Copies of this chain bind each other. A is one copy, B any other.
Amino acid sequence: MEVTIVGAGLVGCLLACFLARRGHHVTLYERRPDPREQGPDRGRSINLAMSERGIDALRRLGLDGKVLDAALPMAGRVMHAQDGALTFQPYSADRTQAINSIGRAALNRELLDVASALPGVEVRFGHRLTGLDERTGRLEFEHGEVADGARVVIGADGAFSAVRARLQQLPGVSFSQDYLDYGYKELSIPAKDGEFALDPGALHIWPRGRSMMIALPNRDRSFTCTLFWPHETLAALDTPQRISAYFGEHYSDAVELMPGLAADFRANPVGHLVTMRCSPWHVTTEAATVGLVGDAAHAIVPFYGQGANCGFEDCVELDRCLDETGDDFPAALELFERRRADTDVIARLALDNFVEMRDRVGSRVFLAGKRVEHTLERALPGYVSRYELVSFSTTPYSQAERRIARQRRAVAAAAAGAALLALGFAARHGRRGRRSGRPGHENGR
């Protein structure tokens, strides 16, 4: 089958690999020039945290080893309090599991190399999609180029997908874009005397109530920091003096590690945080089937570290749908719609996790709760935290949520049982007390 994929980012390249393995011919159209011939985009989501769902997808293609070799494992979070105090929270109860800091640009180049080396895969850079007619399978690109009669078109072209822009115009296609009132901006903590300036085995978080900063390690021993701040705070720091003063007050242990702070802050762009939903993800006409995967189908905010992982898992799921339908793309894309139950869950969890990261993660109550959770995990047979189910398993997101709900009911029942036992003990104790003191009032109210 001839398949057109729009977008040669992480998900588009990976999907091309899966489809080529099935014997399909894939043409990938990418609006940007070949990233292997130039440097990466500066200041826009440079790192990602690869965890089990992404690794599982890579493993199915034999690509996990090479990718993980280039990654830095992070086994937990290091919280930086305003007074500089540090707290380590392992991601798993047994402290053995880690998420993996990976440079997006390097991973994309790697996947481009792999995909374009496969027989039947062709990548065309500098092709920005400007028009798509699902009734004819006609694709139009900037500068007038045209591809006619595509039978299968898959949009893997990200949160601002041009393929989805066409689907959105069709009656019956529901869609939403929800922006947070927060922006993000990337900064850097360079290597210090040739070494990492912070522990490279953790994801660093500076939770500050309504805002936060995080830092992920890079292979060159620098850290990429990302601010998640209200837009008005980002806009308010408009002089080097204000920038230094603000960081000195709120990120005092980091500011001394950031010699380029003021210049980076002023030079780097502000990114937006958006959740995109679309339903259905595909349309089939007599001439063509057009579908969406990855961020094009369901862009989520980055606070669970699942954007790329979820997009990679899309490829595994679509591959499974093609198995189930004997490579009938319209039927497979119809089946693939069931995945929305899972992507809706991770979209919500990612939003919820922002509140947890920026706010609760630094609080004593939260830390005590985490200790209770890890105690429970060791005490209750089979108990697994939500974070572990999301990050260290391939249990579908919606199933993970159902399991968390069951576990919470079990814990609540156990707690209620314990409370009843305690009350029973207190009542017997109290009754005995009253008995001895006030005989004859056994039936008292």
Q: Let me know if B175 and A174 touch, CB within 8 A.
A: no
Residues of B within 8 A of A172 (CB): 179, 231, 272
Interface string of A261-299 (1 = CB under 8 A from B): 000000000001010010000000000000000000000
Q: CB-nearest residue of chain B relative to A443?
A: B443
Interface string of A367-397 (1 = CB under 8 A from B): 0000000000000000000000000000000
Interface string of A151-181 (1 = CB under 8 A from B): 0000000000000000010011111111100
Q: Let me know if A174 and B168 touch, CB within 8 A.
A: no
Interface residues of A in 116-169 (CB under 8 A from B): 168
Q: CB-nearest residue of chain B relative to A271?
A: B171
Cross-interface CB contact of A171 among B171, B176, B179, B443, cutoff 8 Å: B179
Q: CB-nearest residue of chain B relative to A270?
A: B171
Q: CB-nearest residue of chain B relative to A165?
A: B169
Residues of B within 8 A of A171 (CB): 179, 272, 274
Cross-interface CB contact of A177 among B168, B231, B272, cutoff 8 Å: B168
Cross-interface CB contact of A175 among B176, B272, B443, cutoff 8 Å: B176
The distance from the CB of A92 to the nearest CB of chain B, in whole angstroms, is: 36
Interface string of A177-192 (1 = CB under 8 A from B): 1110000000000000
Residues of B within 8 A of A176 (CB): 174-178, 277
The distance from the CB of A281 to the nearest CB of chain B, in whole angstroms, is: 14
The distance from the CB of A274 to the nearest CB of chain B, in whole angstroms, is: 8
Interface residues of A in 218-257 (CB under 8 A from B): 231
The distance from the CB of A180 to the nearest CB of chain B, in whole angstroms, is: 9
Interface residues of chain A: helix, strand, loop or mixed (majority): strand
The distance from the CB of A168 to the nearest CB of chain B, in whole angstroms, is: 7
Q: Let me know if A175 and B177 touch, CB within 8 A.
A: yes
In the bound assembly, the distance between CA atoms of A272 and B176 in angstroms comes to 17
The distance from the CB of A282 to the nearest CB of chain B, in whole angstroms, is: 15
Residues of B within 8 A of A443 (CB): 443
Residues of B within 8 A of A272 (CB): 171-172
Q: Let me know if B174 and A174 touch, CB within 8 A.
A: no
The distance from the CB of A119 to the nearest CB of chain B, in whole angstroms, is: 39
In the bound assembly, the distance between CA atoms of A146 and B176 in angstroms comes to 31
Residues of B within 8 A of A277 (CB): 176
Q: Let me know if A177 and B179 touch, CB within 8 A.
A: no
Q: CB-nearest residue of chain B relative to A160?
A: B169
In the bound assembly, the distance between CA atoms of A172 and B231 in angstroms comes to 10
Residues of B within 8 A of A274 (CB): 171
The distance from the CB of A297 to the nearest CB of chain B, in whole angstroms, is: 16
Residues of B within 8 A of A179 (CB): 171-174
The distance from the CB of A3 to the nearest CB of chain B, in whole angstroms, is: 28
The distance from the CB of A428 to the nearest CB of chain B, in whole angstroms, is: 20
Q: CB-nearest residue of chain B relative to A176?
A: B176
In the bound assembly, the distance between CA atoms of A97 and B171 in angstroms comes to 37
In the bound assembly, the distance between CA atoms of A168 and B174 in angstroms comes to 15
The distance from the CB of A279 to the nearest CB of chain B, in whole angstroms, is: 9
Interface string of A72-106 (1 = CB under 8 A from B): 00000000000000000000000000000000000
The distance from the CB of A173 to the nearest CB of chain B, in whole angstroms, is: 7
Q: CB-nearest residue of chain B relative to A172?
A: B179
In the bound assembly, the distance between CA atoms of A205 and B174 in angstroms comes to 28
In the bound assembly, the distance between CA atoms of A173 and B180 in angstroms comes to 10
In the bound assembly, the distance between CA atoms of A153 and B277 in angstroms comes to 29
In the bound assembly, the distance between CA atoms of A173 and B177 in angstroms comes to 8
The distance from the CB of A38 to the nearest CB of chain B, in whole angstroms, is: 25
Residues of B within 8 A of A168 (CB): 177
Interface string of A410-445 (1 = CB under 8 A from B): 000000000000000000000000000000000100
Chain A: residues with CB nearer than 8 A to chain B?
168, 171-179, 231, 272, 274, 277, 443
15 more CB-based (< 8 A) A-B contacts, given A171-B272, A172-B179, A175-B175: A168-B177, A171-B179, A171-B274, A172-B272, A173-B177, A174-B176, A174-B177, A174-B178, A174-B179, A175-B176, A175-B177, A176-B176, A176-B177, A176-B178, A176-B277
Q: Which 9 A-B pairs have the closest CB atoms?
A: A176-B176, A171-B272, A174-B178, A174-B179, A172-B179, A175-B177, A174-B177, A172-B272, A443-B443
A-B contact pairs, 6 of them (CB 8 A): A171-B179, A172-B272, A175-B175, A175-B177, A176-B176, A176-B177
